[in-house]
Structures are given as C-alpha cells and as structure tokens.
Amino acid sequence: MATPLSADKFLSVLKGAGLGVVEHGKWRTHNRNTHGNWGPANGVMIHHTGSYSSEKDMVELYRTGYHDLPGPLCHGVIDRSGTVHLVGYGRCNHAGMGDTDVLLAVIAEKTSLPRNNEADTDGNRHFYGFECINTGSQPWPVAQLDAMARAAAAICRAHGWNEHSVIGHKEWRPGKPDPGGIDMDAFRARVARHLRDGSKPKPDPKPKPAPKPRPKPEPTPKYAAYPGRQFFRVGRSSPVISAVAKRLIAEGCDSYDTPPGQVWNDAHRRSYAAYQIKRGHHGADADGIPGPETWADLRVPHQAGAPEPNPTTPNQEHDSMPQALADIAERTVATYLQSLLGLMVAASTTDMVSLSAWQAAAVSAIPAALSALKSTLGTALGRPGTASWLP
C-alpha cells in the first residue's frame, strides 16, 4: 500500500520518463474526492476509450464526463501519437467496482491474477487510470503502446512497484473488454523492460562519421603534351614518336619509305614538314621539327605507360657533341688564325709571289678544310647548326 503521489510529483515522473504531456484546465484539483476516498494507491489500470469522433473531443469527454458518470473519468488520456493529456487528479471514475481477490494479488505483485468473478471492491480509490484512445478493434500504434507502458512504468518506479502492479480493466471487473487487442502479460513484460532500462527514451545513436572520400586519381590526358623542340633529334626513341607517325599518316602526310618506328629520323622529319606545310607554314617554319602550334593541331594521343618528356629550353638540353670534337673545332680555329697572322707577317716582309707553290696551296686549303669540318660535325651529330659559328 502507498500514499498517492502529489499532482506535481505525478506530472514530474511522467515528464521524467520522456513522455510528452499536455495539461488541461485545473487538472490538479479536478477529482471526485468528495464522493469517496483516494488511496491507498495499489496499482495502475489501463483502459481503451471505445468509439470516438475525434481525439480532441475524446480528451474533453474524459475531462468533463457525462450526465450518468461525471468527470474526470481518468487521470490521463493517451492519444494515438503517444501524448499524455492530464484531465484530473485524485479519485476518478474509471475503475468502478471489481474483484477483491484481484486487488490482493496486485498488492502482493503476484505473477498471475485470479479470475475476476466478483464486483465487490471500489477500484477508483486504489488505481491510477489511463484511458487510451482506441475503438477496441483498431491496431495499436507503436508510439501509443510505448507511451502507455512508459507511463505505467514511471508510476511503478515512483512507488517502488514492479510490473505486476499494472492490470487491464478487463482483469479487474467482470464483463469489461478493455484494453481490446492487448495481451496484458506481454504488456507487463514491456513495462518491465522500461523499469530495467530506466524508462527514459534512449538517445538516437550518433551517426558514424562518413568515410573521407578517397582522392580521385588525376584523369589521364587525352593528348600527349608537347615535349619541346629539343626532344626531336636523330636517334631519340619514344612511343610518342610512333604515335606522331600514325597521326601524320592519318593526315595524309606520309613521307615514309618503310613502316615508321619509334626512333626519330629524317623520314619522320620530312613527314612532319609536309604536315607543317599543310597547316600553312613555309620556309623556316616548315623545318620538320614539331612546334607547339602544329603539335596541338595534330592531337597526338597520350601514350599510357610512357613517361611524358619534359619540355626543355636549349640551354637545359644536354649537348650530345663530344668534348673531343669541340676541342678539335677550337684548335682548327686557332690554327686558322695563326696561319692568317703568319701570312699577314709574311706579306709585310715578303712578296706573295715569292711563296712556294706548296705554301700557297696550303694557305688556300685552310677555308676548304674548315668548311668540310663544319659539314662533317653537323652531319655526324644530326644537328646541321652545330658548327654554324665556324667561319
């Protein structure tokens, strides 16, 4: 047996269980205490309302009652969304007369109730009552069932009761069907879970942080980048050169005597010169060495797996002329200058006609030797301008 909770405590335990609560009128003092005792409190009773026109009208009906049965007709009305509407507090006309043996089993919190076959005890003084909006044959919304069990568990916890202090109206008074469609043993098990879990709703689990997106790989370029003029020298080998040849042939600029390979040679240069002329270039602009403008126009496909050559300026490009040849060129120039100076000295002291024939031949052969050396260097290295600085 227990002293009923105060109205403020009753409100507090419901809100503490995470329930949505709406207070109607002066519910704290709206009761039937002048028509009988309220207490000792022994349990919680669950009802259904029966047929209804609207939930709002049903809440008002259970607050005011009707001619044959004045309100309040319960302590709280639980609507189908799970909201608890407080309409009265104290003695309420909800339980009526019921079976004494059932009351004793509730007080003892027995796991099974006796059959209710008598109506000899006033239940309005002993039970908190919740009317739940349902015709008796409707499906029970999950939110409403949860609120019903949560409210019952909150009151049981406040009094130190367990789930066996909760009964249905149909277990109390013979002939009553409510709450329809609810197995009360299963409902008490739901109340027990709330008692174990603390009744408060568990917070939604924090969402797992979204995995960081993996950086997208750089898209493969469609066309090969321009490698620079210095890339195209005789003997250079690269899949890019094969791709150039295919594009030149596709453009109708085919000066190849044999199937082109990936080594740059004169046939590649002639074919590219033909393409430069086709694009409107002439003279020095059609020398067969790709430039950035015609390269962009040719659209050479990117070669997957082939390293992209880095464009270089001439002073960055490694000069392939052997140092020994450079030394020969320098010495030749020095010899030429020495001979020239010697002739000038000789001319000041000797008549040129007095020079021997072999001396004259040697002097006249010097320019021819230099010209031959210049041509040889350029041809050997595949760079016609290599020795262009020689006189």
Question: For residue 134, is it within any domain?
Answer: yes
Q: Do 172 and 36 share a structural domain?
A: yes
pLDDT at 382 over 70: no
Please report the pLDDT score of residue 47 as a whole number: 98
C-beta of residue 32 within 8 angstroms of C-beta of residue 90 = yes
Please report the pLDDT score of residue 41 as a whole number: 97
Q: Tell me what the mean pLDDT of segment 138-167 comes to.
A: 97
C-beta of residue 181 within 8 angstroms of C-beta of residue 135 = no
Q: Do 15 and 158 share a structural domain?
A: yes
C-beta of residue 55 within 8 angstroms of C-beta of residue 140 = no
Question: For residue 103, is it within any domain?
Answer: yes
Q: Which domain holds residue 271?
A: 229-298
Please report the pLDDT score of residue 255 as a whole number: 86
Q: Do 168 and 289 share a structural domain?
A: no
Please report the pLDDT score of residue 219 as a whole number: 79
**pLDDT over 90 percentage in the chain:** 59
Express each pLDDT in 244-256 by its tens digit: 999 999 998 988 8
pTM of the model: 0.54
Q: Do 186 and 141 share a structural domain?
A: yes
Express each pLDDT in 11-41 by its tens digit: 999 999 999 999 999 999 999 999 999 999 9
Q: How far apart are CA 129 and CA 65, in angstroms?
A: 14
Q: Do 98 and 29 share a structural domain?
A: yes
Express each pLDDT in 272-325 by its tens digit: 988 988 888 888 888 889 999 999 999 999 876 555 555 544 444 444 455 556
Question: For residue 17, is it within any domain?
Answer: yes
Q: What angle is formed at CA 139 by the lines to CA 138 and CA 144, rounded to 5 degrees?
A: 110
Q: Do 293 and 326 share a structural domain?
A: no
Express each pLDDT in 169-184 by its tens digit: 999 999 999 999 999 9
How many separate domains does the chain show? 3
pLDDT at 222 over 50: yes
